[in-house]
Structure 1
Amino acid sequence: MKQPELGRKITELRKEKGLTQEELVDRCNISVRTLQRIEAGEVTPRSYTVRTILAALDYDLSRITDDDAARKSFSGWLKDTFLIDIDPDRSGTFIIKQLNIAWLLGLVYFILGFLESAAEYFRMEDDRMIFSIPVYISIKVAVLVSFFFFQRGFIVVGHMFRNYLLKIMSYVLIFGVFLIIAYDIASLFYESVEREYILGAQALTFGGILILYGISLIKLHRSFGNVPVIAGIFEIAAAFFFLTIILSFIGYIMLIPAELLEIVILFKAVEIIKSKQPVNGAMTT
Protein backbone atom coordinates (compact mmCIF):
# COMPACT_ATOMS: atom_id res chain seq x y z
CA MET A 1 0.00 0.00 0.00
CA LYS A 2 1.37 3.39 -0.99
CA GLN A 3 1.11 6.78 0.62
CA PRO A 4 -1.14 8.54 1.48
CA GLU A 5 -3.39 5.45 1.78
CA LEU A 6 -0.93 3.77 4.16
CA GLY A 7 -0.93 6.77 6.49
CA ARG A 8 -4.72 6.91 6.51
CA LYS A 9 -4.92 3.18 7.24
CA ILE A 10 -2.52 3.45 10.18
CA THR A 11 -4.47 6.42 11.55
CA GLU A 12 -7.72 4.48 11.22
CA LEU A 13 -6.29 1.42 12.98
CA ARG A 14 -4.77 3.51 15.79
CA LYS A 15 -8.08 5.26 16.46
CA GLU A 16 -9.93 1.93 16.42
CA LYS A 17 -7.57 0.80 19.18
CA GLY A 18 -8.23 4.02 21.09
CA LEU A 19 -4.54 4.95 21.09
CA THR A 20 -2.93 8.35 20.91
CA GLN A 21 0.13 8.85 18.75
CA GLU A 22 2.28 8.97 21.93
CA GLU A 23 0.88 5.67 23.17
CA LEU A 24 1.48 3.98 19.82
CA VAL A 25 5.11 5.11 19.49
CA ASP A 26 5.79 3.74 22.98
CA ARG A 27 4.77 0.32 21.65
CA CYS A 28 6.87 0.39 18.49
CA ASN A 29 9.91 2.44 19.50
CA ILE A 30 9.75 5.25 16.92
CA SER A 31 9.50 8.99 17.41
CA VAL A 32 6.19 10.85 17.53
CA ARG A 33 7.38 13.08 14.69
CA THR A 34 8.06 10.04 12.48
CA LEU A 35 4.60 8.64 13.15
CA GLN A 36 3.02 12.02 12.47
CA ARG A 37 4.78 12.26 9.11
CA ILE A 38 3.79 8.69 8.21
CA GLU A 39 0.14 9.26 9.09
CA ALA A 40 0.16 12.54 7.15
CA GLY A 41 1.52 10.73 4.10
CA GLU A 42 4.63 12.91 4.01
CA VAL A 43 7.10 9.99 4.03
CA THR A 44 7.08 6.37 2.91
CA PRO A 45 8.34 4.25 5.81
CA ARG A 46 10.63 1.26 5.42
CA SER A 47 8.93 -2.14 5.40
CA TYR A 48 10.43 -2.93 8.81
CA THR A 49 8.82 0.21 10.28
CA VAL A 50 5.47 -0.65 8.73
CA ARG A 51 5.60 -4.18 10.16
CA THR A 52 6.53 -2.81 13.60
CA ILE A 53 3.65 -0.32 13.63
CA LEU A 54 1.12 -2.87 12.39
CA ALA A 55 2.31 -5.45 14.91
CA ALA A 56 1.77 -2.87 17.68
CA LEU A 57 -1.75 -2.44 16.35
CA ASP A 58 -2.34 -6.23 16.16
CA TYR A 59 -2.86 -6.00 12.41
CA ASP A 60 -1.47 -8.48 9.91
CA LEU A 61 0.65 -6.91 7.16
CA SER A 62 -0.61 -9.51 4.66
CA ARG A 63 -4.14 -8.06 4.96
CA ILE A 64 -2.92 -4.73 3.61
CA THR A 65 -1.05 -6.54 0.83
CA ASP A 66 -4.15 -8.58 -0.05
CA ASP A 67 -6.37 -5.46 -0.06
CA ASP A 68 -3.88 -3.69 -2.34
CA ALA A 69 -3.73 -6.68 -4.71
CA ALA A 70 -7.54 -6.82 -4.81
CA ARG A 71 -7.74 -3.15 -5.77
CA LYS A 72 -5.16 -3.65 -8.51
CA SER A 73 -7.03 -6.71 -9.74
CA PHE A 74 -10.31 -4.78 -9.88
CA SER A 75 -8.60 -1.87 -11.63
CA GLY A 76 -7.18 -4.25 -14.22
CA TRP A 77 -10.57 -5.87 -14.74
CA LEU A 78 -12.18 -2.45 -15.19
CA LYS A 79 -9.59 -1.40 -17.78
CA ASP A 80 -9.95 -4.66 -19.70
CA THR A 81 -13.75 -4.66 -19.60
CA PHE A 82 -14.17 -1.06 -20.74
CA LEU A 83 -10.94 -1.00 -22.77
CA ILE A 84 -9.97 2.20 -20.98
CA ASP A 85 -6.27 1.78 -21.67
CA ILE A 86 -5.41 -0.66 -24.45
CA ASP A 87 -1.91 -2.04 -24.06
CA PRO A 88 0.01 -1.59 -27.36
CA ASP A 89 1.68 -4.96 -26.76
CA ARG A 90 -1.73 -6.62 -27.11
CA SER A 91 -2.63 -4.90 -30.37
CA GLY A 92 -2.59 -8.09 -32.45
CA THR A 93 -4.62 -11.14 -31.53
CA PHE A 94 -6.28 -9.41 -28.58
CA ILE A 95 -7.60 -6.53 -30.73
CA ILE A 96 -8.84 -8.83 -33.49
CA LYS A 97 -10.62 -11.02 -30.92
CA GLN A 98 -12.41 -7.99 -29.43
CA LEU A 99 -13.52 -6.82 -32.87
CA ASN A 100 -14.81 -10.27 -33.84
CA ILE A 101 -16.80 -10.43 -30.59
CA ALA A 102 -18.10 -6.92 -31.31
CA TRP A 103 -19.48 -7.54 -34.79
CA LEU A 104 -20.97 -10.91 -33.82
CA LEU A 105 -22.77 -9.39 -30.82
CA GLY A 106 -23.68 -6.46 -33.05
CA LEU A 107 -25.72 -8.93 -35.09
CA VAL A 108 -27.30 -10.26 -31.89
CA TYR A 109 -28.14 -6.69 -30.81
CA PHE A 110 -29.64 -5.97 -34.23
CA ILE A 111 -31.95 -9.01 -34.04
CA LEU A 112 -32.92 -8.40 -30.41
CA GLY A 113 -33.79 -4.83 -31.35
CA PHE A 114 -36.88 -6.02 -33.21
CA LEU A 115 -38.13 -7.93 -30.17
CA GLU A 116 -37.42 -4.98 -27.91
CA SER A 117 -39.14 -2.54 -30.28
CA ALA A 118 -42.26 -4.72 -30.43
CA ALA A 119 -42.37 -4.99 -26.64
CA GLU A 120 -41.97 -1.24 -26.21
CA TYR A 121 -44.54 -0.40 -28.89
CA PHE A 122 -47.31 -2.43 -27.26
CA ARG A 123 -46.31 -1.28 -23.79
CA MET A 124 -46.50 2.36 -24.88
CA GLU A 125 -49.44 2.33 -27.29
CA ASP A 126 -51.70 -0.34 -25.77
CA ASP A 127 -50.40 -0.28 -22.20
CA ARG A 128 -49.93 -4.03 -22.25
CA MET A 129 -47.07 -6.50 -22.17
CA ILE A 130 -46.73 -8.95 -25.07
CA PHE A 131 -44.07 -10.85 -23.14
CA SER A 132 -44.10 -12.01 -19.55
CA ILE A 133 -42.12 -9.85 -17.14
CA PRO A 134 -39.24 -12.38 -16.84
CA VAL A 135 -38.97 -12.62 -20.65
CA TYR A 136 -39.17 -8.82 -21.02
CA ILE A 137 -36.38 -8.34 -18.47
CA SER A 138 -34.29 -11.06 -20.16
CA ILE A 139 -34.65 -9.30 -23.51
CA LYS A 140 -33.63 -5.98 -21.96
CA VAL A 141 -30.58 -7.47 -20.27
CA ALA A 142 -29.57 -9.27 -23.47
CA VAL A 143 -29.93 -6.01 -25.40
CA LEU A 144 -27.74 -4.19 -22.89
CA VAL A 145 -25.01 -6.86 -22.91
CA SER A 146 -24.94 -7.19 -26.70
CA PHE A 147 -24.94 -3.40 -27.17
CA PHE A 148 -22.09 -3.07 -24.67
CA PHE A 149 -19.87 -5.51 -26.58
CA PHE A 150 -20.98 -4.01 -29.91
CA GLN A 151 -19.83 -0.56 -28.82
CA ARG A 152 -16.62 -1.97 -27.35
CA GLY A 153 -15.70 -2.64 -30.95
CA PHE A 154 -15.94 1.06 -31.75
CA ILE A 155 -13.87 1.88 -28.67
CA VAL A 156 -11.18 -0.36 -30.19
CA VAL A 157 -11.58 1.25 -33.61
CA GLY A 158 -11.43 4.70 -32.06
CA HIS A 159 -8.20 3.76 -30.30
CA MET A 160 -6.54 2.04 -33.25
CA PHE A 161 -7.39 4.75 -35.75
CA ARG A 162 -6.94 7.69 -33.35
CA ASN A 163 -10.57 8.70 -33.64
CA TYR A 164 -11.02 9.83 -30.06
CA LEU A 165 -14.45 11.36 -30.68
CA LEU A 166 -15.70 7.89 -31.68
CA LYS A 167 -14.17 6.39 -28.55
CA ILE A 168 -15.79 9.01 -26.28
CA MET A 169 -19.20 8.78 -27.94
CA SER A 170 -19.18 4.98 -27.64
CA TYR A 171 -18.72 5.33 -23.87
CA VAL A 172 -21.54 7.89 -23.78
CA LEU A 173 -23.87 5.60 -25.72
CA ILE A 174 -23.12 2.65 -23.43
CA PHE A 175 -23.91 4.77 -20.38
CA GLY A 176 -27.06 6.19 -21.97
CA VAL A 177 -28.43 2.79 -22.99
CA PHE A 178 -27.69 1.45 -19.51
CA LEU A 179 -29.77 4.26 -17.95
CA ILE A 180 -32.66 3.72 -20.34
CA ILE A 181 -32.82 -0.03 -19.81
CA ALA A 182 -32.48 0.38 -16.05
CA TYR A 183 -35.46 2.78 -16.15
CA ASP A 184 -37.52 0.45 -18.36
CA ILE A 185 -37.02 -2.45 -15.95
CA ALA A 186 -37.52 -0.38 -12.79
CA SER A 187 -40.72 1.15 -14.17
CA LEU A 188 -42.28 -2.32 -14.18
CA PHE A 189 -42.29 -2.31 -10.41
CA TYR A 190 -42.48 1.35 -9.35
CA GLU A 191 -44.73 4.25 -10.15
CA SER A 192 -42.74 6.73 -12.19
CA VAL A 193 -42.96 9.87 -14.25
CA GLU A 194 -45.23 9.51 -17.27
CA ARG A 195 -43.37 7.48 -19.90
CA GLU A 196 -44.20 10.07 -22.55
CA TYR A 197 -42.00 12.62 -20.77
CA ILE A 198 -39.19 10.12 -20.33
CA LEU A 199 -39.33 9.09 -23.98
CA GLY A 200 -39.32 12.74 -25.03
CA ALA A 201 -36.24 13.45 -22.94
CA GLN A 202 -34.64 10.29 -24.29
CA ALA A 203 -35.29 11.37 -27.89
CA LEU A 204 -33.76 14.81 -27.32
CA THR A 205 -30.72 13.42 -25.51
CA PHE A 206 -29.97 10.74 -28.06
CA GLY A 207 -30.60 13.19 -30.87
CA GLY A 208 -27.67 15.26 -29.67
CA ILE A 209 -25.48 12.23 -28.99
CA LEU A 210 -26.11 10.63 -32.38
CA ILE A 211 -25.11 13.76 -34.27
CA LEU A 212 -21.65 13.57 -32.69
CA TYR A 213 -21.55 9.81 -33.13
CA GLY A 214 -22.39 10.18 -36.81
CA ILE A 215 -19.63 12.76 -37.26
CA SER A 216 -17.15 10.43 -35.58
CA LEU A 217 -18.08 7.63 -37.99
CA ILE A 218 -17.65 9.89 -41.02
CA LYS A 219 -14.11 10.66 -39.82
CA LEU A 220 -13.20 7.01 -40.55
CA HIS A 221 -13.65 7.51 -44.30
CA ARG A 222 -9.94 7.61 -45.15
CA SER A 223 -9.38 4.08 -43.85
CA PHE A 224 -12.81 2.53 -44.45
CA GLY A 225 -14.08 4.28 -47.57
CA ASN A 226 -17.73 5.21 -48.01
CA VAL A 227 -19.27 2.73 -45.58
CA PRO A 228 -18.71 4.84 -42.42
CA VAL A 229 -19.75 7.96 -44.32
CA ILE A 230 -23.11 6.44 -45.22
CA ALA A 231 -23.52 5.04 -41.68
CA GLY A 232 -22.70 8.46 -40.24
CA ILE A 233 -25.24 10.17 -42.49
CA PHE A 234 -27.94 7.71 -41.38
CA GLU A 235 -27.02 8.34 -37.73
CA ILE A 236 -27.20 12.12 -38.17
CA ALA A 237 -30.49 11.88 -40.08
CA ALA A 238 -31.91 9.69 -37.31
CA ALA A 239 -30.70 12.24 -34.77
CA PHE A 240 -32.65 15.04 -36.41
CA PHE A 241 -35.82 12.97 -36.43
CA PHE A 242 -35.30 12.20 -32.73
CA LEU A 243 -34.94 15.93 -32.02
CA THR A 244 -38.41 16.55 -33.44
CA ILE A 245 -39.75 14.03 -30.86
CA ILE A 246 -42.94 13.59 -32.90
CA LEU A 247 -41.04 11.90 -35.74
CA SER A 248 -38.84 9.79 -33.49
CA PHE A 249 -40.26 6.60 -35.00
CA ILE A 250 -38.63 7.55 -38.33
CA GLY A 251 -35.36 7.94 -36.45
CA TYR A 252 -35.58 4.33 -35.28
CA ILE A 253 -36.18 3.23 -38.89
CA MET A 254 -33.09 5.17 -40.01
CA LEU A 255 -31.01 3.37 -37.40
CA ILE A 256 -31.68 -0.02 -39.03
CA PRO A 257 -29.34 0.51 -42.04
CA ALA A 258 -26.95 2.46 -39.82
CA GLU A 259 -26.50 -0.48 -37.47
CA LEU A 260 -25.99 -2.94 -40.33
CA LEU A 261 -23.33 -0.69 -41.83
CA GLU A 262 -21.66 -0.37 -38.44
CA ILE A 263 -21.40 -4.16 -38.23
CA VAL A 264 -19.71 -4.05 -41.65
CA ILE A 265 -17.28 -1.41 -40.33
CA LEU A 266 -16.24 -3.66 -37.46
CA PHE A 267 -15.81 -6.64 -39.77
CA LYS A 268 -13.74 -4.52 -42.14
CA ALA A 269 -11.63 -3.27 -39.23
CA VAL A 270 -10.59 -6.87 -38.55
CA GLU A 271 -9.39 -7.23 -42.14
CA ILE A 272 -7.51 -3.91 -42.05
CA ILE A 273 -5.76 -4.70 -38.77
CA LYS A 274 -4.82 -8.19 -39.99
CA SER A 275 -3.19 -6.73 -43.08
CA LYS A 276 -1.53 -3.72 -41.51
CA GLN A 277 0.52 -3.72 -38.32
CA PRO A 278 -0.25 -0.66 -36.14
CA VAL A 279 2.45 1.83 -35.40
CA ASN A 280 2.83 2.51 -31.68
CA GLY A 281 -0.51 0.86 -31.01
CA ALA A 282 -2.47 3.17 -33.34
CA MET A 283 -3.28 3.65 -37.00
CA THR A 284 -3.87 6.92 -38.69
CA THR A 285 -7.12 7.71 -40.40
Structure 2
Amino acid sequence: MKQPALGKRISELRKQKGLTQEELVEKCNVSVRTIQRIESGEVTPRSFTIKTILAALDEKLETITLDNVVEISKKQLTILQAAWIVGVIYFIIGFVEVIADYNLMIGETDFISKPIYVVVKIITALSFSILFIGFAEIGKVFNKRFITISSYLFIVIFILSCLYDVFDTNYSYEITSVSLVLKSIVFGVLQVLFGISLLSLQKQFAGVVIALAVLEILTGVFFTTVVGAPVAMFFLIPTILLEIIVVFMVYQKLKKELYS
Protein backbone atom coordinates (compact mmCIF):
# COMPACT_ATOMS: atom_id res chain seq x y z
CA MET A 1 0.00 0.00 0.00
CA LYS A 2 1.43 3.35 -1.04
CA GLN A 3 1.10 6.77 0.50
CA PRO A 4 -1.25 8.54 1.05
CA ALA A 5 -3.47 5.41 1.16
CA LEU A 6 -1.23 3.91 3.84
CA GLY A 7 -1.67 6.90 6.13
CA LYS A 8 -5.42 6.98 5.58
CA ARG A 9 -5.69 3.30 6.47
CA ILE A 10 -3.74 3.76 9.71
CA SER A 11 -5.89 6.79 10.55
CA GLU A 12 -9.05 4.72 9.96
CA LEU A 13 -7.78 1.91 12.19
CA ARG A 14 -6.91 4.37 14.95
CA LYS A 15 -10.33 6.01 14.83
CA GLN A 16 -12.05 2.62 14.81
CA LYS A 17 -10.31 1.92 18.12
CA GLY A 18 -11.48 5.29 19.44
CA LEU A 19 -7.94 6.54 19.94
CA THR A 20 -6.54 10.04 19.48
CA GLN A 21 -3.08 10.47 17.97
CA GLU A 22 -1.74 11.26 21.45
CA GLU A 23 -3.25 8.09 22.90
CA LEU A 24 -1.78 6.01 20.08
CA VAL A 25 1.62 7.54 20.78
CA GLU A 26 1.45 6.37 24.39
CA LYS A 27 0.70 2.80 23.24
CA CYS A 28 3.38 2.47 20.54
CA ASN A 29 6.11 4.86 21.73
CA VAL A 30 6.23 6.73 18.40
CA SER A 31 6.33 10.53 18.40
CA VAL A 32 3.16 12.50 17.69
CA ARG A 33 4.92 14.25 14.80
CA THR A 34 5.74 10.87 13.21
CA ILE A 35 2.12 9.70 13.52
CA GLN A 36 0.91 12.97 12.01
CA ARG A 37 3.32 12.74 9.07
CA ILE A 38 2.40 9.10 8.40
CA GLU A 39 -1.35 9.71 8.52
CA SER A 40 -1.08 12.81 6.33
CA GLY A 41 0.95 10.85 3.76
CA GLU A 42 4.06 13.02 4.09
CA VAL A 43 6.39 10.05 4.67
CA THR A 44 6.44 6.32 3.98
CA PRO A 45 7.44 4.71 7.28
CA ARG A 46 9.78 1.76 7.53
CA SER A 47 8.33 -1.67 8.11
CA PHE A 48 9.32 -1.74 11.79
CA THR A 49 7.37 1.46 12.49
CA ILE A 50 4.26 0.08 10.80
CA LYS A 51 4.52 -3.15 12.78
CA THR A 52 4.80 -1.15 16.01
CA ILE A 53 1.76 0.99 15.20
CA LEU A 54 -0.33 -2.03 14.14
CA ALA A 55 0.60 -3.88 17.31
CA ALA A 56 -0.60 -0.90 19.34
CA LEU A 57 -3.87 -1.01 17.38
CA ASP A 58 -4.20 -4.77 17.96
CA GLU A 59 -4.07 -5.35 14.22
CA LYS A 60 -2.08 -7.93 12.26
CA LEU A 61 0.54 -6.97 9.71
CA GLU A 62 -1.61 -8.55 6.98
CA THR A 63 -4.10 -5.70 7.54
CA ILE A 64 -1.87 -3.52 5.39
CA THR A 65 -0.11 -4.64 2.22
CA LEU A 66 3.46 -3.35 2.36
CA ASP A 67 3.92 -2.76 -1.38
CA ASN A 68 6.11 0.30 -1.17
CA VAL A 69 7.49 0.26 2.36
CA VAL A 70 11.25 0.44 2.70
CA GLU A 71 12.92 -1.52 5.47
CA ILE A 72 16.43 -0.35 6.31
CA SER A 73 18.75 -1.49 9.09
CA LYS A 74 21.40 0.59 10.83
CA LYS A 75 24.04 -1.75 9.36
CA GLN A 76 22.84 -1.04 5.82
CA LEU A 77 22.79 2.67 6.57
CA THR A 78 26.41 2.46 7.75
CA ILE A 79 27.36 0.62 4.54
CA LEU A 80 25.76 3.32 2.42
CA GLN A 81 27.54 6.04 4.38
CA ALA A 82 30.89 4.29 3.91
CA ALA A 83 30.10 3.75 0.21
CA TRP A 84 29.69 7.40 -0.72
CA ILE A 85 32.62 8.54 1.44
CA VAL A 86 34.98 5.91 0.02
CA GLY A 87 33.52 6.68 -3.40
CA VAL A 88 35.20 10.09 -3.20
CA ILE A 89 38.53 8.33 -2.63
CA TYR A 90 37.86 6.13 -5.67
CA PHE A 91 37.13 9.20 -7.80
CA ILE A 92 40.45 10.82 -6.79
CA ILE A 93 42.63 7.69 -7.01
CA GLY A 94 41.11 6.97 -10.42
CA PHE A 95 43.06 9.82 -12.00
CA VAL A 96 46.32 8.46 -10.57
CA GLU A 97 45.45 4.96 -11.79
CA VAL A 98 44.75 6.11 -15.36
CA ILE A 99 48.03 8.03 -15.55
CA ALA A 100 49.96 5.08 -14.10
CA ASP A 101 48.36 2.60 -16.51
CA TYR A 102 49.12 4.85 -19.48
CA ASN A 103 52.78 5.29 -18.51
CA LEU A 104 53.27 1.55 -18.05
CA MET A 105 51.55 0.89 -21.36
CA ILE A 106 53.97 3.14 -23.24
CA GLY A 107 56.92 1.70 -21.33
CA GLU A 108 57.58 4.76 -19.14
CA THR A 109 58.44 2.99 -15.88
CA ASP A 110 60.25 5.96 -14.34
CA PHE A 111 56.97 7.68 -13.56
CA ILE A 112 55.82 5.13 -10.98
CA SER A 113 57.55 2.18 -9.34
CA LYS A 114 55.97 -1.28 -9.28
CA PRO A 115 55.34 -1.29 -5.48
CA ILE A 116 53.57 2.06 -5.66
CA TYR A 117 51.61 0.88 -8.68
CA VAL A 118 50.45 -2.17 -6.70
CA VAL A 119 49.33 0.08 -3.83
CA VAL A 120 47.40 2.30 -6.25
CA LYS A 121 45.66 -0.74 -7.71
CA ILE A 122 44.77 -2.10 -4.27
CA ILE A 123 43.28 1.23 -3.17
CA THR A 124 41.41 1.50 -6.47
CA ALA A 125 39.98 -2.03 -6.20
CA LEU A 126 38.95 -1.61 -2.55
CA SER A 127 37.36 1.82 -3.00
CA PHE A 128 35.49 0.74 -6.15
CA SER A 129 34.24 -2.38 -4.36
CA ILE A 130 32.96 -0.43 -1.35
CA LEU A 131 31.20 2.10 -3.60
CA PHE A 132 29.43 -0.67 -5.51
CA ILE A 133 28.64 -2.63 -2.37
CA GLY A 134 26.63 0.48 -1.60
CA PHE A 135 24.67 0.00 -4.82
CA ALA A 136 24.23 -3.70 -4.00
CA GLU A 137 22.69 -2.70 -0.66
CA ILE A 138 20.42 -0.21 -2.42
CA GLY A 139 19.20 -3.09 -4.56
CA LYS A 140 18.48 -5.13 -1.43
CA VAL A 141 16.69 -2.30 0.36
CA PHE A 142 14.38 -1.55 -2.57
CA ASN A 143 14.09 -5.20 -3.61
CA LYS A 144 15.75 -4.55 -6.99
CA ARG A 145 17.68 -7.79 -7.49
CA PHE A 146 19.03 -6.74 -10.89
CA ILE A 147 20.89 -3.83 -9.26
CA THR A 148 22.38 -6.10 -6.60
CA ILE A 149 23.49 -8.76 -9.09
CA SER A 150 24.98 -6.30 -11.59
CA SER A 151 26.79 -4.47 -8.76
CA TYR A 152 28.43 -7.64 -7.41
CA LEU A 153 29.30 -8.76 -10.94
CA PHE A 154 30.93 -5.39 -11.55
CA ILE A 155 32.96 -5.78 -8.33
CA VAL A 156 34.22 -9.27 -9.22
CA ILE A 157 35.27 -8.31 -12.76
CA PHE A 158 36.90 -5.07 -11.57
CA ILE A 159 38.96 -6.89 -8.94
CA LEU A 160 40.04 -9.54 -11.47
CA SER A 161 41.05 -6.75 -13.85
CA CYS A 162 43.17 -5.07 -11.16
CA LEU A 163 44.80 -8.39 -10.27
CA TYR A 164 45.66 -8.94 -13.93
CA ASP A 165 47.26 -5.50 -14.11
CA VAL A 166 49.29 -6.13 -10.96
CA PHE A 167 50.62 -9.57 -11.97
CA ASP A 168 51.06 -8.87 -15.68
CA THR A 169 54.79 -8.43 -16.28
CA ASN A 170 54.67 -8.71 -20.06
CA TYR A 171 54.22 -5.27 -21.51
CA SER A 172 54.45 -6.25 -25.18
CA TYR A 173 52.34 -4.12 -27.50
CA GLU A 174 50.37 -7.10 -28.87
CA ILE A 175 49.37 -8.53 -25.48
CA THR A 176 48.58 -5.09 -24.07
CA SER A 177 46.39 -4.27 -27.08
CA VAL A 178 44.37 -7.49 -26.81
CA SER A 179 43.98 -6.96 -23.06
CA LEU A 180 42.70 -3.40 -23.53
CA VAL A 181 40.19 -4.49 -26.18
CA LEU A 182 38.80 -7.27 -23.97
CA LYS A 183 38.57 -4.96 -20.96
CA SER A 184 36.80 -2.31 -23.00
CA ILE A 185 34.18 -4.74 -24.27
CA VAL A 186 33.59 -6.53 -20.93
CA PHE A 187 33.34 -3.33 -18.89
CA GLY A 188 31.19 -1.77 -21.58
CA VAL A 189 28.66 -4.59 -21.38
CA LEU A 190 28.70 -4.51 -17.56
CA GLN A 191 28.15 -0.75 -17.52
CA VAL A 192 25.20 -0.99 -19.90
CA LEU A 193 23.61 -3.69 -17.73
CA PHE A 194 24.23 -1.66 -14.58
CA GLY A 195 22.71 1.43 -16.18
CA ILE A 196 19.61 -0.50 -17.23
CA SER A 197 19.26 -1.90 -13.70
CA LEU A 198 19.25 1.63 -12.25
CA LEU A 199 16.19 2.56 -14.29
CA SER A 200 14.14 0.44 -11.87
CA LEU A 201 14.71 3.16 -9.26
CA GLN A 202 13.21 5.97 -11.31
CA LYS A 203 9.97 5.97 -9.30
CA GLN A 204 11.81 6.43 -6.00
CA PHE A 205 14.56 8.76 -7.25
CA ALA A 206 13.71 10.35 -10.57
CA GLY A 207 16.05 13.10 -11.87
CA VAL A 208 19.59 12.24 -10.81
CA VAL A 209 19.14 8.45 -11.00
CA ILE A 210 17.78 8.67 -14.55
CA ALA A 211 20.71 10.91 -15.51
CA LEU A 212 23.13 8.38 -14.00
CA ALA A 213 21.43 5.47 -15.76
CA VAL A 214 21.66 7.23 -19.12
CA LEU A 215 25.32 8.12 -18.55
CA GLU A 216 26.14 4.54 -17.52
CA ILE A 217 24.49 3.17 -20.66
CA LEU A 218 26.14 5.72 -22.98
CA THR A 219 29.55 5.17 -21.41
CA GLY A 220 29.10 1.41 -21.68
CA VAL A 221 28.13 1.64 -25.35
CA PHE A 222 31.23 3.69 -26.14
CA PHE A 223 33.44 1.20 -24.27
CA THR A 224 31.84 -1.71 -26.11
CA THR A 225 32.71 -0.22 -29.49
CA VAL A 226 36.39 -0.09 -28.38
CA VAL A 227 37.11 2.80 -30.77
CA GLY A 228 34.88 4.95 -28.58
CA ALA A 229 36.83 4.07 -25.42
CA PRO A 230 38.56 7.50 -25.23
CA VAL A 231 35.12 9.16 -25.23
CA ALA A 232 33.95 6.68 -22.60
CA MET A 233 36.92 7.59 -20.39
CA PHE A 234 35.83 11.22 -20.57
CA PHE A 235 32.24 10.27 -19.67
CA LEU A 236 33.51 8.31 -16.67
CA ILE A 237 34.28 11.53 -14.79
CA PRO A 238 30.66 12.77 -14.48
CA THR A 239 29.44 9.17 -14.24
CA ILE A 240 31.48 8.40 -11.12
CA LEU A 241 30.52 11.73 -9.58
CA LEU A 242 26.84 10.92 -10.12
CA GLU A 243 27.34 7.44 -8.65
CA ILE A 244 28.64 9.05 -5.45
CA ILE A 245 25.80 11.59 -5.44
CA VAL A 246 23.14 8.90 -5.91
CA VAL A 247 24.49 6.78 -3.05
CA PHE A 248 24.63 9.91 -0.88
CA MET A 249 21.04 10.84 -1.79
CA VAL A 250 19.76 7.36 -1.00
CA TYR A 251 21.72 7.39 2.28
CA GLN A 252 20.17 10.72 3.30
CA LYS A 253 16.66 9.59 2.37
CA LEU A 254 16.89 6.29 4.22
CA LYS A 255 18.55 7.92 7.23
CA LYS A 256 15.63 10.31 7.47
CA GLU A 257 13.13 7.45 7.25
CA LEU A 258 15.01 5.29 9.76
CA TYR A 259 15.05 8.00 12.39
CA SER A 260 11.74 9.66 11.56
**TM-score (normalised: structure 2):** 0.68
- Residue by residue over 1:8-61, the C-alpha shift from the partner in whole angstroms, topping out at 9 and shown as x without a partner, is xxxxxxxxxxxxxxxxxxxxxxxxxxxxxxxxxxxxxxxxxxxxxxxxxxxxxx
Q: Which residue of 2 aligns with 1:159?
A: 140
Q: Which residue of 1 aligns with 2:16?
A: none
Q: Which residue of 2 aligns with 1:96?
A: 77
Number of aligned residue pairs: give it: 188
Q: Which residue of 2 aligns with 1:275?
A: 256
2:98 to 113, 117, 120: 117
- Flag the structure with larger Rg: 1
Pair 1:211 & 2:192 matched: yes
Percent sequence identity is 30
1:191 Cα shift? 8.0
Matches within 5 A, 1:1-285: 91-124=72-105, 126-129=106-109, 130-188=111-169, 194-277=175-258
Structure 2 runs not aligned, ≥5 long: 1-70
Q: Which amino acid aligns with 2:158?
A: V
**TM-score (normalised: structure 1):** 0.63
Q: Which amino acid aligns with 1:263?
A: I
Q: Which amino acid aligns with 1:145?
A: L
Q: Which amino acid aligns with 2:101?
A: E
Structure 1 runs not aligned, ≥5 long: 1-89, 279-285
1:95 Cα shift? 1.3
Q: Which amino acid aligns with 1:131?
A: I
Q: Which whole-Å CA distance do the structure 1 matches of 2:177 and 2:189 have between them? A: 19
1:209 Cα shift? 1.1
Question: 2:107, 2:171 within 8 Å by CA — same for their partners in 1?
Answer: no
Q: Which amino acid aligns with 2:167?
A: A
1:142 Cα shift? 0.4
1:205 Cα shift? 1.0
- SS of the aligned residue for 1:224 comes to coil
Q: Which whole-Å CA distance do the structure 1 matches of 2:185 and 2:247 have between them? A: 27
